Structure 1
Amino acid sequence: MRSTLGVLAVAVVALLGTGCGGRAVASHPAGHTPGPSVTAGVRLAGGGTLAPPAPRAAAIVYDTALVPAGAAVRVTAESGAVLAASTVTVSGMLPHRTYGVHLHVNPCGRTPDDAGPHYRQSHSHTHASAETEVWLDVTTDAGGGGTATATQDWAFQPGRPPRSLVIHAEPTRTSGAEAGSAGPRVACVTLTER
Structure 2
Amino acid sequence: MRTSPAVISLALSSLLLSGCGGGEQEPTRETTNTPQATGQSPGQPTAQQTTAASPRPTSISETFEAYSAGAAAVTYDEEAVPAGSRVEVNTEAEDGGTAFTLRVSGLQPDRDYGAHVHTKPCGAAPDDSGPHYQNEEDPQQPSTDPKYANPDNEVWLDFTTDADGSAEVDTEVDWVPRQGEANSIVIHAEHTHTEPGHAGQAGDRLACVNVPF
TM-score, with structure 1 as normaliser: 0.73
- 1:86-111 C-alpha deviation (Å, 9 max, x unpaired): 11000000111110000011111111
More strand by share: 1
**Match of 2:182?**
162
Please identify, of 50-59 and 123-132, the stretch whose mean Cα deviation from structure 2 is larger.
Answer: 123-132
Larger Rg, first or second structure (1 or 2)? 2
Partner of 2:202 in structure 1?
A: 182
TM-score by length of 2: 0.67
| Long gaps (5+) in structure 2 | 1-52, 140-144
1:115-130 equivalences under 5 Å are 115-123=129-137, 127-130=148-151
Contact 1:43 1:76 in 2 (8 A): yes
Ranges in structure 1 where 5+ consecutive residues have no aligned partner:
1-38
Quote the residue 1:55 is aligned against: 69
1:119-166 deviations in whole A, cap 9, x for unaligned?
111225763001110000011000000000010012222x23521010
> 1-side partners of 2:115 and 2:89: how far apart?
11
What is the alpha-carbon distance in structure 2 between the residues aligned to residue 184 and residue 53 of structure 1? 17
Q: Percent identity?
A: 41
Say whether 1:44 aligns with 2:84. Answer: no
Separation in 2, partners of 1:135, 1:165 = 10
Alpha-carbon separation, structure 2, partners of 1:89 and 1:163 = 17
Instruction: Confirm whether residue 87 of structure 1 aligns to residue 101 of structure 2.
Output: yes
Higher relative contact order (CA closer than 8 Å, sequence separation 6+): 1
Indicate the SS of the match to 2:177: coil
Correspondence 1:1-194 to 2 at 5 A: 40-79=54-93, 82-123=96-137, 127-157=148-178, 159-192=179-212
Q: What residue is the counterpart of 1:26 in the other structure?
A: none
Whole-Å Cα distance in 2 between the matches of residues 110 and 124 of structure 1? 26
1:81 Cα deviation from its structure 2 partner: 6.4
Tell me, yes or no, if the aligned pair for 1:102 and 1:136 is still in contact at 8 Å: yes
Supply the distance in 2 between the matched residues of 1:47 and 1:89 (Cα, whole angstroms).
Answer: 9
Whether the 8 Å CA contact 1:81–1:155 is kept in 2: the answer is no
